[in-house]
Amino acid sequence: MNLVIEVNIMVSLIILILIEVFLFCFSYYFSEHDIMSPSCMMCIMFIISTTFALLNVNNWKIDFSFNTTALIGSGLLVYVLAEIFFRYVFCGQLHGKLYVQNEYDNSELIIKPIILDAMIAFNVVVVFLYLKSIISIVGGNMTNLNSYFHAYRVMGINSMQYQGTSITNGSINFLLRFVVASGYLAAFIGMRNMVTKNAKRSVQLRYAIIVILSLMPSLMTGGRTGILRMFAALLIYYYICWHQINGWDKNLSMKYIRIGLFSFFIIAPAFYFSLEMLGRATKRTIIDYISDYLASSICLLDQYLKSPVPCVSWGEESLVGVKKLLSSLGLGELSTKYNLEFRHLGIGESNVYTFFRRPLHDFGYGGMYVFVVLVAFFFSWMYYKKIKYKSYQKSAGWTIAYGYFYYWIMCSSIVQYSANMISVGAAIQIGIAVIGYKLFVRVGKSKRRINFQKVRDR
């Protein structure tokens, strides 16, 4: 690579990192030092991905232009400003000094053991039926379950690419929604009780089993996204529950930075070595593989901007779930753009393009910024309007839903997850989890209840 070109590429990436760091500091200040706020987390993820891209300039022979720097930087700026605007106008926050009243207690959330045991039994049966369905669909004489999982994953990807539908249909898909939803319900209650330190170990173990069973469908398709989504939910559930008990004026930022660093050095190797367990393989080293997973999206977005693919129908990449619903009502065609095209990068291929590719492809530059604003408004409405500064009694259902959606932000530097989140399936799973909370959860006795008023800058 020509030295001058290489320097220009590195300068573009360094400028992008500086923009991202500035926007993080800006967001962190206006979120009142809330490191898990949507805009802060989005900036953090882009800083990580862009840093890994910079470290691999030579390895991947990256050709990165300043246009991509401008697109990502302006997209993040729009998101941050939209969140601040929503808080100021619609949440009545950031207006200066005012009285904020916090009410919180450390009551244990309880589901009767017999109901928990029934959930576990139900999930085991459904997972077993799903396994039988996978074996039946794949057929043949595979040597082990890993081979079935890999073959099923390949068949599923091909089905989504050419038909726009899953290869497992009918009642099993519907039952799996209960399995996944029970995992988010159990995760929220487990994190709440972990913070309060009230629940018995046997009860917490039941919640953990339900969470693990909820991850099995994802693992059985040869994927690990389900684990990452649950990890994101657990992080935000603990964060919210801790603040609801200890007060939102307390700060968990440094603790979460340590948790993030520790989690990375645990999850990254597990992520790499799990490939063989899921029937997949790679010739790349662990460093190359993790770099590719975290940073290829930044480089592929640059490739897309230089060589875009034509848009056939409005919303075909961003609104796959919506188009599926409309198609079922006879209002248009299915989208087959759930998985995007692969492009070469270094020694391998990838098909992830950050948060911005899908809306840019579907709606153009102006439409992309509108899409970013709407997503920012959505997360701000849930977090700042329905959860933050609210007691857990008023916000439990919203917190469960927010944990489900939070991965959309945590994977923003890698992929636009709207195809999964803006869908009937997501609404059903969230609805099941929230209704399950309303039906099965009762509140134990509180050991302490504190009401206080405090003047603070917001």
CA atoms within 13 A on the CB side of 328: 9
Q: 3-state class of 255 per DSSP? A: helix
Structure-token pair, residue 334: 């299915």
Q: 3-state class of 412 per DSSP? A: coil
Q: Look at residue 239 in the predicted model and tell me its pLDDT.
A: 95
* Contacts of 384 by beta carbon, 8 Å cutoff, 6+ apart: 86, 87, 91, 93
CA atoms within 13 A on the CB side of 285: 3
Instruction: Count how many residues are written for the chain.
Output: 458
- pLDDT block averages, 10 residues each, the chain of length 458: 75 95 96 94 96 89 90 98 95 67 71 95 94 78 64 64 55 91 96 88 94 90 84 95 88 87 82 67 76 91 95 92 88 84 84 95 96 97 93 91 97 94 93 96 68 46
Measured CA to CA, the distance from residue 22 to residue 76 in angstroms comes to 11
Q: Look at residue 147 in the predicted model and tell me its pLDDT.
A: 64
Place of tokens 């940073």: 295
Residue-wise over 33-47: b if at least 16 C-beta within 10 A, else e?
ebbbbbbbbbbbbbb
Measured CA to CA, the distance from residue 416 to residue 439 in angstroms comes to 34
* Contacts of 334 by beta carbon, 8 Å cutoff, 6+ apart: 163, 164, 165, 323, 324, 327
Q: What is the pTM of this model?
A: 0.92
Q: What is the DSSP string of 256-309?
A: HHHHHHHHHHHHHHHHHHHHHHTT----S-HHHHHHHHHHHHHHHHHHHHHSPP
Q: Look at residue 306 in the predicted model and tell me its pLDDT.
A: 94
* Contacts of 61 by beta carbon, 8 Å cutoff, 6+ apart: 1, 346
Q: Look at residue 8 in the predicted model and tell me its pLDDT.
A: 82
Measured CA to CA, the distance from residue 317 to residue 335 in angstroms comes to 7
Measured CA to CA, the distance from residue 73 to residue 19 in angstroms comes to 6
Q: Provide the greatest CA pair distance for the chain.
A: 70
Alpha-carbon separation of residue 423 from 42, 323, 381, 393, 404 (angstroms): 22, 9, 19, 27, 13
Given a contact cutoff of 8 angstroms between Cβ atoms, the answer to whether 300 and 309 are in contact is: no
